[in-house]
Amino acid sequence: MRDVSGRPRAACELSERMAELSHAAGLAYRSAGASNNERVALLVHGYPESSYMWREALGALADAGWRALAPDLPGYGDSEPGEGKGAGTWERHVEALERFVRELELGPVALVTHDWGVMIGLRWACDHPGAVNALAISDGAFHADRQWHDLANVLRTPGDGEQLVRSFTREGFQGAMVGLSSGMREEAIGEYWKCFADDRRRLGHLELYRSGDFDKLVPYKGRLASLGLPALILWGVQDKFAGVQMAERFHEELSDSELVLLEDAGHFVWDDQPERAAGALVDFLARRAG
């Protein structure tokens, strides 16, 4: 039996210990590890993914003695979209993350982010000093002078964005994801497709990207570095959306950071190299946040 990339299933099986699916603050989330563990990791997924992308990391963190929690952001995975106009914006996702942390009464967390989760998670961390004790940043941006890639520019364009998100088919989505990720599996495709389940969810994608004006980060210049947190910068060298130069920039700006580049991974590094990515994360947290 083969996965969607054409490789034998035996060659790409993960040592999955699928986390329990629960709900809090209106969000579905996966968790692993004992609820009384003092060390807590909060993992924030990217677009168009869900908490499923953290499946290997959740199990690895639990095995290392962490409580690990990964919410599905509103409209993604098993979380319902937010209510009302603007429910899918960047700001509303930051608010949803804060409600989640508050309802579960999470103390300082190791914040692990990817893609749009970087934009959401780091904005939340800067707005709540003391809420985070370590960072992991992968394949995402948090700089006011960043430029959006071509796909994002289409989503941000009225008319063109609506046409694009409404044109996606399950088969087309699978083809696109497999073309971008060497490790994309059938199960992952099914989980990530959930955010295209209906028109409301699809239009939420446009709200997210159209709210993503990088000049909103001007007031945040220097604030991430000022938190003084140990940080892991983990990146896929083959990333076509967020080039490795961005990883190097984070590494330069965050004085207490470590840079790990995975040569055989692209943008979806946690699907391309799940065991290596999870191993690097656990190793970093054991040394710097344990």
pLDDT in tens, 13-72: 433 445 679 999 999 999 999 999 999 999 999 999 999 999 999 999 999 999 999 999
Please determine, for residue 284, whether its predicted confidence score (pLDDT) is greater than 60. yes
Q: What is the pLDDT of residue 20?
A: 73
| Token pair in block for residue 160 | 């063109």
Residue 75 has pLDDT above 50, yes or no: yes
Q: What is the pLDDT of residues 225-250, one digit of tens each?
A: 999 999 999 999 999 999 999 999 99
Q: What is the pLDDT of residue 14?
A: 38
Percent over 70 (pLDDT), the chain: 93
For residue 110, pLDDT beyond 50: yes
Of residues 60, 47, 49, the one with CA closest to residue 19: 60
Rounded CA separation 7/2 (Å): 5
